[in-house]
């Protein structure tokens, strides 16, 4: 069964790990030096950075589970301006 839930502070570890795994799988082949990839993941998906992102009210995280196993996530940032959109209430 597929389940989607809003992430909370209790999900920090799972979210940080999913961030590292999914980034490396989807973008890692563009980075020649594996040390650079690891360094980026250390910064972008650390427990402390993930916790800070979760505490930000402008950031919404959703965790996806398949048969109670975490398989993915989505991050929505509210009220972000974009050159192609004139609305002030946007997200990415």
pLDDT digits (tens, 9 = 90+) for 9-57: 999 999 999 999 999 999 988 988 889 999 999 999 999 999 999 999 9
Four-point Cα dihedral 15, 2, 26, 22, nearest 10: 20
**Beta-sheet pairing, 69-77 with 2-6:** unpaired
Residue 91: per-residue pLDDT: 63
Give the predicted TM-score (pTM) of the model.
0.82
Residue 64: per-residue pLDDT: 97
Residue 81: per-residue pLDDT: 72
Work out the widest C-alpha separation in the chain, in whole angstroms.
41
């Amino acid at each position: 069964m597929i389940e989607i839930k809003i992430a909370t502070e209790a999900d920090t570890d799972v979210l940080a790990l999913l961030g590292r795994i999914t980034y490396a799988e989807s973008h890692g082949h563009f980075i020649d030096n594996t040390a650079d990839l690891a360094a980026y993941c250390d910064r972008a998906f650390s427990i402390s950075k993930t916790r800070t992102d979760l505490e930000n009210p402008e950031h919404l995280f959703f965790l996806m589970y398949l048969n109670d196993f975490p398989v993915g996530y989505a991050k929505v940032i509210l009220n972000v301006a974009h050159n192609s959109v004139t609305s002030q209430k946007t997200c990415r």
